[in-house]
Amino acid sequence: MTAGPETAPLPLPPVSGAWREGDPPGRRRWVTLGRPLPLEAGGVLPGIRLAYETWGRLAPDASNAVLVLHALTGDSHAAGPAGPGHPTPGWWDGLIGPGRPLDTDRWFVVVPNVLGGCQGSTGPASPRPDGRPWGGAFPHLTQRDMVAAEALLADELGIERWALVTGGSMGGMRALEWAVSYPERVGALLLLATTAAASAEQIAMAAVQLHAIRADPGWRGGDYHGAAPGQGPHAGLGTARRLAHITYRSEPELQARFGRRAQDGEDPLRSGRYQVESYLDHHAAKLVRRFDAGSYVVLSEAMNGHDAGRGRGGTAAALRRVTARTLVAGVDSDRLYPLAQQAELAAGIPTADRLRVIESPSGHDGFLTETAQVGGLVRELLGG
């Protein structure tokens, strides 16, 4: 008997969910940076290409440019529907567009895919100069390396100074690095659910995820990109996503949504599943089809290495370098990046207003889901 559409198994996932040459470009544009990028940990990265998307029109004097920086598994597609080249809708769609807080009738919004990412920018799935995928040979990156690449992108676009730089989580790390490394190029700064330096617990959570990926036989030391569909480190990446997603949400929300309820038609006492397990399985299955395990490792290690005070005389001295008008906000239910970390930022940045608190049951993901509250902060900074 032939299975109907509702029961047909999904095709095997690609060895990597990275965007590849020949895939639909979607709204992406690219810029190839004209010189090798020196890396903070040593060495250089040659042949860098960054994918990015824009909304709105750049003013003749380039004074209306806004830089939006995505989190760990985000990409350049911050607004707009899913479609060819974009497996998911824009992750901040409620904030970007005509009449929205980042009003594209007024502002020119730029969203790059981070260096080391997998949706069009140079990363482990990309070809190195000899044509082979970088794979496990891809160099170690830091947030400062990523920001240095983004500064070269701004140069290519003719943008000397951003009216606003903003991001949450890993995007907030890079936004802070922008304001510390290039204070003269940042007019306003909005930091969301982020920190001046990764904590021991944050490093520990990421370390378990990295171990899950590297322990997968499909990892092959990071050199899996030439394997057949279904042969990548999908189990490890899926486990990493399950653990990460627990930290992104709050315990009260998970309890309210799922409690101890069983998945429909299953009895947990007879080797069935609970609804919360199915929820985590769903998010794991989605990620392995749109992301690259190598990028997950590179970007997670860069988050673990985040420390704005490194080589700058400590955190307090680094934060004093910020000259942009700044708002810092955290989510009241965030257990991964707790409010105390945002309070440190707000107290240490001379130009920061008081700490703002986003009220949400959604935990760390509140910076993505609470678009009305985040939009209010954007409007406050941009005067609209």
Q: Which of 212, 146, 214 is nearest to 181 (CA)?
A: 146
117 within a domain of the structure (yes/no): yes
Q: Please report, for residues 66, 113, 142, 309, the alpha-carbon distance to residue 147 in angstroms, rounded to integers and kept in the order given.
A: 15, 11, 9, 15
pLDDT of residue 16: 96
239 within a domain of the structure (yes/no): no
248 within a domain of the structure (yes/no): no
Those residues with Cβ within 8 angstroms of residue 269's Cβ, 6 or more apart along the chain or in another chain:
none
Residues taking part in catalysis: 169, 334, 364
DSSP codes, 326-356: EEEEEETT-SSS-HHHHHHHHHH-TTB-SPE
pLDDT of residue 265: 79
DSSP codes, 290-340: T--HHHHHHHHHHHHT-BTTTTTTSHHHHHTT--SEEEEEEETT-SSS-HH
Between helix 234-248 and helix 200-215 the angle, nearest 10°, is: 160
CA angle 68, 73, 75 (to 5 degrees): 40
**Separation of alpha carbons 206 and 55, rounded Å:** 33
Those residues with Cβ within 8 angstroms of residue 275's Cβ, 6 or more apart along the chain or in another chain:
257, 258, 261, 262, 263
Instruction: Count the Cβ atoms, other than its own, within 10 Å of residue 255.
Output: 11
Those residues with Cβ within 8 angstroms of residue 53's Cβ, 6 or more apart along the chain or in another chain:
27, 28, 29, 76, 77, 78, 110, 111
pLDDT of residue 341: 98
Give the phi and the psi of residue 156 in degrees, each rounded to 5: -65, -35
189 within a domain of the structure (yes/no): yes
110 within a domain of the structure (yes/no): yes
269 within a domain of the structure (yes/no): no
182 within a domain of the structure (yes/no): yes
Q: Please report, for residues 19, 188, 234, the alpha-carbon distance to residue 215 in angstroms, rounded to integers and kept in the order given.
A: 24, 43, 11
With tokens 């598994």, the residue in question is 73
DSSP codes, 1-67: -PPPTTTPPPPPPPS-----TTS--TT-EEEE-SS-EE-TTSSEE-S-EEEEEEES---TT-TTEEE
SS3 137: helix
Give the phi and the psi of residue 26 in degrees, each rounded to 5: 60, -135
**Separation of alpha carbons 313 and 2, rounded Å:** 67
23 within a domain of the structure (yes/no): no
Contact criterion met (CB below 8 Å) for 249 and 242: no
Those residues with Cβ within 8 angstroms of residue 236's Cβ, 6 or more apart along the chain or in another chain:
212, 213, 214, 215, 216, 218, 219, 293
Per-residue pLDDT of the chain (384 residues; tens, 9 = 90+): 343 445 456 788 899 999 999 999 999 999 999 789 999 999 999 989 999 999 999 999 999 999 999 999 999 999 999 999 999 999 999 999 999 999 999 999 999 999 999 999 999 999 998 999 999 999 999 999 999 999 999 999 999 999 999 999 999 999 999 999 999 999 999 999 999 999 999 999 999 999 999 999 999 999 999 999 989 999 999 999 999 999 999 999 999 999 999 988 788 777 778 999 999 999 999 999 999 999 999 999 999 999 999 999 999 999 999 999 999 999 999 999 999 999 999 999 999 999 999 999 999 999 999 999 999 999 999 986
pLDDT of residue 5: 43
pLDDT of residue 150: 98
**Count of the separate structural domains present in the chain:** 1
DSSP code, position 270:
G
Looking up residue 81, the CATH number of its domain turns out to be 3.40.50.1820
pLDDT of residue 35: 85
pTM for the complete prediction?
A: 0.96
Domain interval for residue 192: 29-198+306-382
Contact criterion met (CB below 8 Å) for 14 and 232: yes
pLDDT of residue 8: 59
Terminal Cα-to-Cα distance of the chain (whole angstroms): 61
Between helix 234-248 and helix 293-304 the angle, nearest 10°, is: 40
